[in-house]
């Protein structure tokens, strides 16, 4: 009864919710649990998968001509975006960083530093410091034009950029086509719930997997005495160092553990369900967060293909369109130049399947031998620039020619 009265005093001015510091402490959850979503394991894993997927794809510059699509490797922009968009970042790190900002903040912004028409560097602007301006009155130049305002937190200065100077990559969740919705906002309650469960498990391990207990005693103790008594029992009973130790209980007192079973509350099942919800919001497959319970893919190649079609295809299309439109000049776009990520990196099969596919392509006149060798990073051969085909193949119009017939006529 005294314990119940003490609990009443503790909570008499507290609302029973997860923001109550007394309730959180009683449940073993630190009221100062960090709210940074990146500390949640599944959220971090999904961000990592998408960021690394963008970083590993080579960005290529092509040109559509009358003779087909050819590589355009002799332009300054090609080497800039392929190797080092700015002096401090490689291409892989640059695009991974852009993708991290895009998912976490809803929009990722890249300033295009130009000298005349030549692109010199690409700089990532902190997403949280960039705001949108719509020139409804035509104060800057054109009425209705979109501008970007960057506020430097260190110097307090503000910079305004034309929309043609900024690459703007947004999430697919947008209601106005300008502001992307951060995935962390969509999943706010789910991620915070996962954070609390993760914190609870951490505290449970720290306490040596011992649950809370109720100490029954007779008489009345002041606040300092109760605190000393509680601390004394915790010194003997909590922590991995005390596992298996005997707990001395004074005469007239009784220590009763609270029987908390994680299986009864389906803790693991709920944690898995939350992880799958977070992964689904990112478009990440369960197998990519190490959940293989319901895996139905025949091979790693099939998994990568499903990930590309269901998740990466939209993301890459947005990147390619934005980069092509804003990095290239109007003249270059009219001449057929365009940017495209090489997805062959993630869709490659095993070595045997690759060789068989390339051999069939060469034998049927689709690839030249040197093109197939280049796919395998092998040097070209002086006789490998001719298309080949099986000599037994003939056009339909020539069927029966060897019998003196024309076009297969009898």
What is the bridge-based pairing of β-strands 130-135 and 158-162? Answer: unpaired
Strand ranges (DSSP E) for 155-248? 158-162, 166-170, 213-216
pTM, two decimals, is: 0.67
Judged by average pLDDT, the poorest of 21-25, 165-169, 236-240, 375-379 is: 21-25
**C-alpha 188: how far from its chain's center?**
16
Residues 6+ apart with CB under 8 A from 160: 133, 140, 147, 148, 149, 150
Q: How many CB atoms lie within 10 A of CB 384?
A: 17
Q: Where are the domains of the chain?
A: 1-32
The answer to whether 322 and 98 have CB atoms below 8 angstroms apart is no
Query: Confidence band (pLDDT; 50, 70, 90) for 87?
Result: very high
- At 202, which helix (H) or strand (E)? helix 188-206
- At 47, which helix (H) or strand (E)? helix 41-56
**C-alpha 124: how far from its chain's center?**
17
Q: Is residue 226 pLDDT above 90, yes or no?
A: no
Query: Confidence band (pLDDT; 50, 70, 90) for 28?
Result: very low
Pick from 95, 133, 125: nearest CA to 109 = 125
Strand ranges (DSSP E) for 15-104? 59-65, 68-71
């Amino acid at each position: 009864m005294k314990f119940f009265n003490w609990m009443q005093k503790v909570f008499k001015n507290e609302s029973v919710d997860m923001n109550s510091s007394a309730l959180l402490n009683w449940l073993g959850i630190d009221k100062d649990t960090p709210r940074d979503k990146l500390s949640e394991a599944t959220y971090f894993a999904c961000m990592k998968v998408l960021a690394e997927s963008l970083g590993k794809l080579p960005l290529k510059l092509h040109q559509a001509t009358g003779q087909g699509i050819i590589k355009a490797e002799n332009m300054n922009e090609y080497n800039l975006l392929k190797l080092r968009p700015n002096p401090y970042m490689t291409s892989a790190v640059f695009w991974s960083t852009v993708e991290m900002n895009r998912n976490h903040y809803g929009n990722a912004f890249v300033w295009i530093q130009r000298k005349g028409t030549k692109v010199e560097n690409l700089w990532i602007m902190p997403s949280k410091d960039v705001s949108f301006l719509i020139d409804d009155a035509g104060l800057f130049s054109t009425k209705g034009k979109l501008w970007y305002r960057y506020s430097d937190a260190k110097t307090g200065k503000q910079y305004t950029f034309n929309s043609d100077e900024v690459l703007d990559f947004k999430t697919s969740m947008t209601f106005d086509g300008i502001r992307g919705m951060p995935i962390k906002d969509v999943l706010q309650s789910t991620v915070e719930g996962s954070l609390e469960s993760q914190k609870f498990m951490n505290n449970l391990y720290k306490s040596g997997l011992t649950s809370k207990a109720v100490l029954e005693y007779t008489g009345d103790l002041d606040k300092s005495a109760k605190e000393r008594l509680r601390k004394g029992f915790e010194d003997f009973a909590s922590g991995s160092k005390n596992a298996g130790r005997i707990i001395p209980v004074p005469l007239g007192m009784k220590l009763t553990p609270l029987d908390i079973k994680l299986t009864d509350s389906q803790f693991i099942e709920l944690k898995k369900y939350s992880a799958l919800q977070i992964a689904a919001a990112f478009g990440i497959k369960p197998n990519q967060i190490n959940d293989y319970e319901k895996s139905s893919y025949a091979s790693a190649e099939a998994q990568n293909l499903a990930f590309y079609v269901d998740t990466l295809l939209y993301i890459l299309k947005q990147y390619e369109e934005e980069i092509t439109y804003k990095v290239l000049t109007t003249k270059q776009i009219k001449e057929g130049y365009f940017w495209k990520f090489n997805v062959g990196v993630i869709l490659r099969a095993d070595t045997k399947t690759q060789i068989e596919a390339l051999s069939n392509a060469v034998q049927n006149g689709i690839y030249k031998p040197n093109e197939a060798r280049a796919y395998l990073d092998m040097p070209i051969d002086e006789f490998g620039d001719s298309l080949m085909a099986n000599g037994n193949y003939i056009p339909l119009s020539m069927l029966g020619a060897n019998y003196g017939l024309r076009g297969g006529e009898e």
